[in-house]
Structure 1
Amino acid sequence: MVFRGLQCYFYTYIDIGLEAAVMKLDPEDGEQIMEYFKTHALLTREKALLQASVREQKKLLVENAKLKKDIEQLKTQLQEKQRRRAAKSLLSTAPPPQTPNLTSTMAANQPSSPAGATAAFPVNPLPSSSSSSHERRDKHSRRRKAERKARSTSDLLSLGVESQVDVSRLDLRVGRILSVRLHPLAEAMIVQEVDVGENGPRTVVSKVGQEIIPEELQGSLAVLLCNVKACKLKGVVSQARLLCCCTSDDCVELLVPPTGSTPGDRVTFLNYPGEPDRELQSKEKVWELLQPDLQVDGRGVANYKGCSFEVKGKGLCRAPSLTNCIIR
């Protein structure tokens, strides 16, 4: 069925009469000439699609830069408002300045009267020391509560503005599978040694479908998520994640980098130019938040929210035959 689809695609570019004429002129090499024409037509179409994609991505990049600038301005405004609010809260909770007691002052300045004489001005008794210290403690407690509330609100606002989760935080690289073996404790898992352009290979534990034959993976190129936290899977430490394409009926294929890729090549996204995290923190659940938007489109190209997986200067990452499916 795949061959028929490709044949129909080629015949949209190459005239049947031309093929007959070439075969008639050169029966021996006619098939090779037609194969060359078909390959050239396929590459021309791929180039046109790539150029259209680049133009669209450049347009989206400009819009993205404008949105980032607006976000920075809003962030600055929010931080300024929060500082003013915190300062106003501190001023409202500060204790009022203590004023001298007018009656006590007048009584102190008045000359002493003889015994039995009545005071010219009634003098109020001074408050007890225990009630005064209690009031000071209450005021101090209220002020500390206001400071904590202002600080926590400021932290929440700044966190909401600054924490952005997008695909640029993933360290995706091209890797070559050097060796494959079955997991000693799990029949459904395989253990691979993968070269991702570092001094030594990484050990990767994967669960693949029955369609994938482990022996056929050796020597092939794949796309790996390299900044996941190393973890033990059935007793074997896995240091990366192998990306696969998966349909709803559990048909699984490896995501394939473009021809000419080498181990260690970065997979990037034109609309998301940020640098990846050194290591994804499990409590932030970055992979879990991004994974629903990692998909293979109708042309078999891997993308994140419509932005293609790309190895710069070499092409796009694809599924070998699956379309309209998820990446996991």
Structure 2
Amino acid sequence: MDNTEDLFKPSLAAALMKLDPEDGEQIMEYLKTHALLTREKALLQASVRDQKKLLVENAKLKKDIEQLRAQLQEKHRRRSAKALLTPAPPPTTPSPAPSAPVNPAASTIGATSAVPSNASPPSSSSFDRRGRQSGRRRGERKDCPISDSRSLGAEPQLNVSRLDLRVGRLISVRRHPLAETMSIQEVDVGENAPRMVVTKLGGATHLEQLQGGLAVLLCNLKACKIRGVVSQGRLLCCSTPGGCVELLAPPTSSTPGDRVTFLNYPGEPDRELQSKQRVWERLQPDLQVDSRGVANYKGCGFEVKGKGLCRAPSLINCIIR
């Protein structure tokens, strides 16, 4: 079907002319045109898929560049702090100037007349005391930058403001090819390209009903590969001990990219949550849905400013994971 010259051989043209002498030639031209259009359509669809793939790769490269830039800035800051902490070299004691040559006899006479017989030569204890004092002074100068470096590298306060929560729209939902209990979502969060997210929603019977809906996405988790698919975030779900699971729903007037904030916990989120600090794992037990179905952190609601609160579609008194 890819080569129109092979499709429309002289035998087919002759057969058409024999069946319909008047319109056979026009039918032949129509078939050729239709085949060419079909081929162009397939090429166009392939180019669109390639373009989407390039957009996703471009967004990932931009994110990698931002991470590398942050790492370089952190290394530069640590190198500067280390330079401040490095102690100055100890001062060198100047060597005594060589004395002028004197007459041995005169020096002996001067020594016996000026110095008592029981006097001892100056000991090195005075030099030791001066060395200890200078060492203490150097230690005192060294204490100040240590406290500064600790304050610079201190961990930010642990609260929900460190989570980058945004409203996202599910563009597509499909089952994971390698795991029946998992699904793959493409989520639009107002960026240049949608994010690919892997979740454990594969047990739902009607995944297609989620397509086009709104959800809350945790965006500053480190990207990780799950069963061969890179996941670039986490969709927040409401879950009961009985196994009921629902996606947390933002206000219906929300748009992709809207921030989810907390009135009692202002602040900017981390650029990326460090896995060693386990920020999400430590905050997650305090994320719950109350008896009214409103999502909250320690009693403070998930809010999209000017648009409303995030809620569970039907569950109450359950956890958010």
Aligned pair in 2 of structure 1 residues 145, 182: CA closer, same or farther (>3 Å)? farther
The Cα of 1:271 is off from its aligned counterpart by 1.9
Q: Give the corresponding residue for 2:78.
A: none
Which amino acid is 2:221 matched to?
Answer: V
Q: Give the corresponding residue for 2:36.
A: none
Give runs of aligned pairs for residues 178-327 of structure 1, distance below 5 A: 178-208=171-201, 210-211=203-204, 213-327=206-320
Q: Give the corresponding residue for 1:125.
A: 121
The Cα of 1:177 is off from its aligned counterpart by 0.8
Which stretch of the first structure deviates more once superposed, 214-223 or 131-140?
131-140
Whether the 8 Å CA contact 2:176–2:202 is kept in 1: the answer is no
Q: Secondary structure at the match of 2:217?
A: strand
Q: Equivalent pairs: percent with the same residue?
A: 65
Distance 2:182 2:148 in 1: 47
Whether the 8 Å CA contact 1:211–1:251 is kept in 2: the answer is no
Give runs of aligned pairs for residues 68-217 of structure 1, distance below 5 A: 112=107, 114=109, 120-122=115-117, 123-127=119-123, 150-156=144-150, 163-208=156-201, 210-211=203-204, 213-217=206-210
Whether the 8 Å CA contact 1:212–1:253 is kept in 2: the answer is no
Query: What TM-score does the superposition give when structure 1 sets the normalisation length?
Result: 0.57
Which amino acid is 1:114 matched to?
Answer: I
Q: Secondary structure at the match of 1:174?
A: strand
Whether the 8 Å CA contact 2:182–2:203 is kept in 1: the answer is no
The Cα of 1:288 is off from its aligned counterpart by 2.0
Whether the 8 Å CA contact 1:173–1:224 is kept in 2: the answer is yes
Whether the 8 Å CA contact 2:175–2:202 is kept in 1: the answer is no
Distance 2:130 2:178 in 1: 67
The Cα of 1:149 is off from its aligned counterpart by 5.1
Distance 1:263 1:248 in 2: 30
Whether the 8 Å CA contact 1:221–1:256 is kept in 2: the answer is yes
Distance 2:308 2:292 in 1: 14
Which amino acid is 1:125 matched to?
Answer: P
Distance 1:118 1:260 in 2: 106
Aligned alpha-carbon RMSD (Å): 3.7
Aligned pair in 2 of structure 1 residues 319, 125: CA closer, same or farther (>3 Å)? same
Which amino acid is 1:173 matched to?
Answer: R
The Cα of 1:280 is off from its aligned counterpart by 2.1
Deviations 1:79-104 (A, max 9, x none): xxxxxxxxxxx9xxx99xxxxxxxxx
The Cα of 1:156 is off from its aligned counterpart by 3.7
The Cα of 1:247 is off from its aligned counterpart by 1.6
Whether the 8 Å CA contact 1:177–1:222 is kept in 2: the answer is yes
Q: Secondary structure at the match of 2:306?
A: coil
Give the number of equivalent residue pairs. 221
Aligned pair in 2 of structure 1 residues 119, 179: CA closer, same or farther (>3 Å)? same
Whether the 8 Å CA contact 1:209–1:252 is kept in 2: the answer is no
Q: Give the corresponding residue for 1:50.
A: none
Which stretch of the first structure deviates more once superposed, 178-187 or 312-321?
178-187
The Cα of 1:292 is off from its aligned counterpart by 1.6
The Cα of 1:209 is off from its aligned counterpart by 6.6
Aligned pair in 2 of structure 1 residues 138, 200: CA closer, same or farther (>3 Å)? same
Aligned pair in 2 of structure 1 residues 258, 114: CA closer, same or farther (>3 Å)? closer
The Cα of 1:224 is off from its aligned counterpart by 0.4
Which amino acid is 1:121 matched to?
Answer: P
Structure showing greater radius of gyration is 2
Distance 1:115 1:155 in 2: 59
Distance 2:179 2:127 in 1: 69
Whether the 8 Å CA contact 1:209–1:251 is kept in 2: the answer is no
Deviations 1:66-85 (A, max 9, x none): xxxxxxxxxxxxxxxxxxxx
The Cα of 1:187 is off from its aligned counterpart by 2.4
Deviations 1:100-145 (A, max 9, x none): xxxxxxxxxxx855399565424422447xx998888776666666
The Cα of 1:309 is off from its aligned counterpart by 0.8
